[in-house]
Amino acid sequence: MSVDRPRPLVAGNWKMNGLRSSAKVLSEIHAGYTPGLKAKVDLLVCPPSTLLHVFALASVGSRVAVGGQDCHAKELGAHTGDISAEMLADAGATYVIVGHSERRQFHGEKDADVCAKAVSAHRAGLTAIVCIGETRQEREAGKTLNVVRKQLRGSIPVDSNPQNLVVAYEPVWAIGTGLTPTAADVAEVHALIRDELRRLVGKAEAPKVRILYGGSVKPSNAAELMAVENVNGALVGGASLGAADFLAIAGAYLG
């Protein structure tokens, strides 16, 4: 794998979906993760926390990684309903998503909050998937690149490196809407992210950091999106809830 093209990662964010019966979907993902696919792309499933330990146990030896969808910045304390990065790691997670637009929008998380959570992920030995992306209003106002730059600089910890950081660009207006930016739009933003990473993690390390695209990724558009320069995989929402679609997205790397 070229240094300029890190090994791809296709990650499924299940959000607030999934019951114990959903273990069947995970089994189907395991079964469909063929040797040919394993040679091309890494897979990650981020279920709700109620399923995390069960999924982690079921995935031992499968090379399907399991991650959390959020974490608290502190290791422990009086934070009712929250989950620390250490708890996620203890349950078997190796990744955690931080700064997803739904957390930023509905929970009021700012860049500093996202950075603190990424720091906690690193403290616990997890890889932080730091999410960034503009709203429709910001895109229409021509502010996309400025917004993305600001979020990157405010959200990525100083100790970040290709082993503990993944960046996910998710234009807010494309999440769950069926809308996607053009390949040229994605290329422009991902090029900016790569350039900012040179500043944030160093010129030597920046090419090795995986940058995912997220926002209405599905089997029908995966090949085009995954072929874009500086796109090193996908953060998949609704299409990750079914094994066939999730594997089909990952299968874009077989072509």
- The model's pLDDT over 60-95, given as tens digits with 9 standing for 90+, comes to 999 999 999 999 999 999 999 999 999 999 999 999
**Does residue 205 lie in a domain region?**
yes
The pLDDT value recorded for residue 178 is 85
**Does residue 152 lie in a domain region?**
yes
Q: Which residues share a beta bridge with 45? A: 12, 66
The pLDDT value recorded for residue 177 is 87
CB 243 within 8 A of CB 28: yes
Characterize 180-201 residue by residue with b for buried, 16 or more Cβ atoms within 10 angstroms of its Cβ, and e for exposed: bbebeebbbbbebbbebbeebb
- DSSP, collapsed to helix, strand or coil, labels residue 174 as helix
**Does residue 12 lie in a domain region?**
no
| Residue 2 pLDDT class (50, 70, 90 cuts) | very low
The pLDDT value recorded for residue 12 is 98
The pLDDT value recorded for residue 158 is 96
Q: How far is CA 91 from CA 28, 51, 185, in A?
A: 22, 10, 38
**Does residue 156 lie in a domain region?**
yes
**Does residue 176 lie in a domain region?**
yes
Domain count, the chain: 1
Range of the domain at 235: 19-210+221-254
**Does residue 6 lie in a domain region?**
no
Please determine, for residue 3, whether its predicted confidence score (pLDDT) is greater than 60: no
**Does residue 249 lie in a domain region?**
yes
Place of tokens 């500043």: 199
Summarised one tens digit per residue, pLDDT across range 132-183 is 999 999 999 999 999 999 999 999 999 999 999 999 999 999 888 888 899 9
Q: Cα–Cα–Cα angle for 133, 43, 217, nearest 5°?
A: 40
Q: What share of the chain in percent tops pLDDT 70? A: 98
Residues with catalytic roles: 100, 170
CATH of the domain at 144: 3.20.20.70
**Does residue 146 lie in a domain region?**
yes
- pTM for this structure? 0.97
- Mean pLDDT rounded to a whole number for the chain: 96
